[in-house]
Amino acid sequence: MNINFQNNKGFIYIIPLVYILWSIFLLHINGPFYLTRIDPEFPYLMNGLNCARLDFSRIGLVEHPGTPFHIFTGIFIRIIYWIFGQGTIVEDVILRPEMYLTGSSFILALITSLILFWYGRMALKYNLNILAAILLQSTVFINLILIDLPRRYIPDRMLFIYVLIFIGLCLKYLYQKDYNGKKFAFHSGILMGIGFVTKFHFLPILILPFIIVSSFKEKLIYIGTFIISCFISFLPILDKFSHFRNFIVGIFTHDGLYGGGSEQVFNMQTYWMNLFDIFQQNVPFSIILIIAVVLVCYMVIKRNIRKTHKKEFVILIAIILASSIGALMIAKHYKNYYVIPLVSLSAFAFLVILKISRDIFKFRYLNLIFGLLLIVMVILPVSKLYTVYAGNKIKNHQNFITANYIKYHVPTSDYFFIEPTWMSGPMVTNGLVYGMSYVNHHNFYYNDFEKYYPHIITWEGKTKPVSFFRMLPADNESIFKSGKSIYVLSTPGRYAHVLCNYIDSCATHYEVELLQDTVFTNSVKKEFVIRFKHNDTWNTKVNSNCGFEKVINNQVYTDDEQFALTGSFSLTEEEICNGLNSLKLNKSNPRSPAFVVQELQEGDYIELTVKRRGSSLNPKGNLYIEINSPDTSNIILAKGKYLTRISDKWEIMRVSAEVGQLPADATIHCYYQYPGDKAEHIDDLSLRYCSPN
């Protein structure tokens, strides 16, 4: 079996190519991310977008802490946008999140495939045989969790890549004469620092370089480089260190996942069950670890074998210790993908065992035995996945039935009421809402989401108003008097009944009658779309935005050109929230053009919003809803109030009021007025006028 690898150069391309094709297959067979897997894919996508914009202050997911994966995601987003992007990068990501998640996942598969090819090149360089190359490259197929990994976009995939790179460094350390311990310690320190900050359960892998290097000086180089690498990797979220620390303390002091459960370090019954599951669910890893332990014990007895294979002996000890510590640590809070850093070492350990065994056992068919064992260890996990993948086609068909109903039969002119949850669902907005829940200053994305998802409202609790996409509180009364239907998705595990009860209570409070009916049923998945439809005469007569973009015959119109605003104006390109212009107000021109509402009746409801350039001006301007009548003095019906910032520079205000008894021939003027001497800028003056006909 010692075939000359130099005559089989093409062989090193096969497994990397198979891995690429396998990754594409998994992405296809599992369907869109939003349908089946949004946690943590969408939080990492949205925080990756923050990094793509170089705005690290908006990173809100810091528990892992995950910073390197955020940054890598930002780089991937930039690459995909450079090739396929449309519009601004923010708009493109929120409109086509699936393309960016799929593209980023494919890039990880491509990186992994290149590392496998690198393994093959090293096998050529170091005159290893075909079996050694197969062992190295089969890393991706030797454990169940690794075979299934390409369907996900999670930081654990980067941990797998880090371990693969580390294995490459170990091969150089073993077989390349000019690659000494100092270089190995330095490169390992950089890699391990990045890995640890990506996800803290990478911790057991950190002991590998420390044990492998021989001299005290090399150990110091490793430790120093590791600390510097950690600091640099954590630097973008350094101000959030306390949040990360509290999360880690919570995990340590509680026996449930993510710091939940009882306040005790261990639940021993669960702990031992988890420890058993780690080895029972990762059979190839367990087999290789047992063989490694037996071989190390044998080498302890046989001093000459230990002396001949000193580096390999130390590497096996390091892998056994890291695996043992890792298993003991993970058993406290166990999910199978937590073992990825450990099982990623399986194939490399198997190769080291083979190299040592060749000297111990002068057996002609040793390579054949190891090759057959490798085949068995690949077939075992693959056979378990077959039934899972075979059922995915049916699952995806059912998923798309609900998704297509919502896409084609639920109007975007109506509202969809979403419960923010980690569970996947038939709407991409469900994933985006969950992703935005982990973004710091997520209201800064309001302008972009407002353009494409103004109909998405989110549940924030029984005592709070609903929000627009978790970004700013909505005016509940305006929503319930708009005449628009409200849709709710009900699936197993969601609290649709809580949302429905909330809608009923709000309808009662605002004296609006809504009819509840189930407009869609997917009995196989137990999914329902519930609609709350108005049973009275409320409707929206005017719903217009004036972004100060449309000027016709020296008059400002709304963006849809359906309504003209009355009054003088001064447009500017100096400060812009949206579009090309904003309105500049100063002493000579203190009042914005006004929406004028006519044909009013008692009980009508008016909502007015504006985006204002944040500044230190004192006094600042305000929104006004004013009653004008030819027979009486003007009456201020309501003044605006500040809502929230929507960018570093801009903020949003709102005023709303119910129309009471009106004088004869009265009209209502809705406008913004600045009382100061300097200058103030506003944009997107928007009016909603609802009436019970």
Considering the domain boundaries, does residue 506 fall inside one? yes
Q: How many CB atoms lie within 10 A of CB 418?
A: 26
- Nearest-angstrom CA–CA distance, 326 and 392: 32
Based on the domain organization, do 376 and 438 belong to the same domain?
A: no
Is the CA virtual torsion 283, 286, 290, 292 positive or negative?
positive
Residue 645, both tokens: 């910032």
- What was the pLDDT predicted at 8? 63
| More confident: 254 or 66 | 66
- Among 474, 507, 536, the domain boundary falls at 536
HSE toward the beta carbon, residue 203, CA cutoff 13 A? 12
Residues 568 and 625 in one domain: yes
Q: What is the mean pLDDT of the chain?
A: 90
Do 46 and 89 meet the contact criterion of CB atoms below 8 Å apart?
no
475 and 574 belong to one structural domain:
no
What integer pLDDT is reported at residue 10 of this predicted model? 76
Where b means 16+ CB within 10 Å and e means fewer, 524-535 reads eeebbbbbbbbe
In a domain, 220, yes or no: yes
Indicate whether 550 and 413 sit together in one domain: no
Question: Under a CB-based contact definition with an 8 Å cutoff, are residues 458 and 473 in contact?
Answer: no
| 8 Å CB contact between 646 and 472 | yes
Residue 14 lies in a domain: yes
Say if residue 555 is in the same domain as residue 531.
no
Average pLDDT over residues 592-610: 91
Per the domain annotation, does 446 fall within a domain? yes
Q: Is residue 234 part of a domain?
A: yes
Summarised one tens digit per residue, pLDDT across range 298-348 is 888 888 888 888 888 999 999 999 999 999 988 888 888 899 999 999 999
> 1-49, pLDDT tens digit by residue?
444 445 567 788 999 999 999 999 999 988 999 999 999 999 999 999 9
**Is the domain of 334 the same as that of 372?**
yes
Q: What is the pLDDT of residue 324?
A: 92
Instruction: Classify residue 536 as exposed, middle or buried by CB count within 10 Å of its CB (0-12, 13-18, 19+).
Output: middle
What is the total count of domains within the chain? Answer: 3
Write down the pLDDT at residue 528.
Answer: 96
Tell me: do 305 and 421 sit in the same domain: no
45 located within any domain: no
Question: What per-residue confidence (pLDDT) applies to 255?
Answer: 62
Instruction: Please report the pLDDT score of residue 254 as a whole number.
Output: 67
Residue 355 has pLDDT above 90, yes or no: no
Amino acid sitting at position 350: F
Residue 5: predicted pLDDT: 44
For residue 642, the domain's CATH number is 2.60.120.260
User: What pLDDT score does 530 carry?
Assistant: 97
DSSP annotation of 462: T
Q: Same domain, yes or no, for 258 and 343?
A: yes
Clarify whether residues 544 and 518 are in a common domain: no
Whether the bond into 492 is cis, omega within 30 of 0: no
Same domain assignment for residues 648 and 668: yes
Lowest mean pLDDT segment, chosen from 328-337, 340-349, 565-574, 645-654:
328-337
Distance CA 490, CA 503 (A): 14
Instruction: Identify the domain boundary among 475, 501, 536.
Output: 536
Query: What are 44-97's pLDDT values in tens digits?
Result: 999 999 999 999 999 999 988 999 999 999 999 999 999 999 999 999 999 999
Q: Which of 332, 360, 387 is the last residue before a domain boundary?
A: 387
Q: For residue 622, what pLDDT band results from cuts at 50, 70 and 90?
A: very high
Same domain, 190 and 337: yes
Distances (CA, A) of 523 to 103, 189, 237, 406: 33, 54, 45, 16
What's residue 3's pLDDT? 45
- Whether 51 maps to a domain, the answer reads no
C-beta of residue 83 within 8 angstroms of C-beta of residue 131 = no
Does a structural domain hold residue 509?
A: yes
261 confidence band (pLDDT: 50, 70, 90): low
| Residue-wise pLDDT tens digits, 186-237 | 999 999 999 999 998 899 999 999 999 989 999 999 999 999 999 999 999 9
DSSP β-ladder status, 595-597 and 527-534 = unpaired
Residues 238 and 340 occupy one common structural domain = yes
Residue ranges making up the domain that contains 573: 540-692
Q: What is the pLDDT of residue 160?
A: 96
Q: Write the burial class of residue 263 (CB in 10 Å: 0-12 exposed, 13-18 middle, 19+ buried).
A: exposed
